[in-house]
Amino acid sequence: MTYGACRRAGRGAESNTGSIPGAPLPSRPLTRDRAAEVRLHTWAGTHASKVTKHRMSRAAAVAALSLVAPCRPDLVRTVIERIARGSPTAANWPPRSVQLDLLQSAERVTVGIVHLRGPEDVTVEQVTYTDKLGYQRRVLRLRRHGVVVRDFRSAEELARHVDLSTLREDADPPDE
């Protein structure tokens, strides 16, 4: 019940806080980080299922997971830990081992150890740096034939220039 509805019904604002028996408690919206964790956890299960059923390649699944929370290995690590300590009585589908394997590879991409590669010698790197003013920047750096084209702040911006479905985990780590 909204605040306005409570007032029209002659009840105080306390009715909006769940003091009515059986009324749902109000909830706060998820923070941006928590929403990314939930999305990553969900997608990890979905992609692990697809990889297990041979409907998606492992490299494509890793690429997709790494773009859920780009340049945020801390969020990926949180989801890895949550899945690893999962309930022992819970069903093992999608396979927990596959989920953990995909997420650990996605973490390597978000840290910048491994890059994403696409057709026509397109490479996407996840880069975190501190600018001249001391702000921490997280960008997706697009390269074509080894030359930096542009830095993007989000996967949505990058999607305007590259078909994200064609990106794959690079099998050969960079020699830097």
| Cα distances (Å, whole numbers) of residue 19 to 6, 9, 24, 25, 29 | 12, 15, 9, 9, 20
Specify the pLDDT at position 13. Answer: 46
Specify the pLDDT at position 10. Answer: 54
pLDDT, tens only, 36-79: 999 999 999 999 999 999 999 999 999 999 999 999 999 999 99
8 shares a domain with 40: no
Total count of domains within the chain: 2
**159 assigned to some structural domain:** yes
**91 assigned to some structural domain:** yes
Site of tokens 């589908």? 93
List all residues 6 or more positions away from 112 whose beta carbon is below 8 Å from its beta carbon.
Answer: 125, 126, 127, 128
148 shares a domain with 85: yes
Q: Which domain holds residue 11?
A: 1-30
**66 assigned to some structural domain:** yes
**63 assigned to some structural domain:** yes
74 shares a domain with 56: yes
49 shares a domain with 10: no
42 shares a domain with 7: no
153 shares a domain with 66: yes
**175 assigned to some structural domain:** no
94 shares a domain with 145: yes
**What does the pLDDT average to over 150-164?**
94
pTM: 0.78
131 shares a domain with 77: yes
Angle between helices 32-52 and 58-66 (to 10 degrees): 180
**110 assigned to some structural domain:** yes
Helix spans in the chain (H): 3-8, 32-52, 58-66, 73-84, 96-111, 155-159
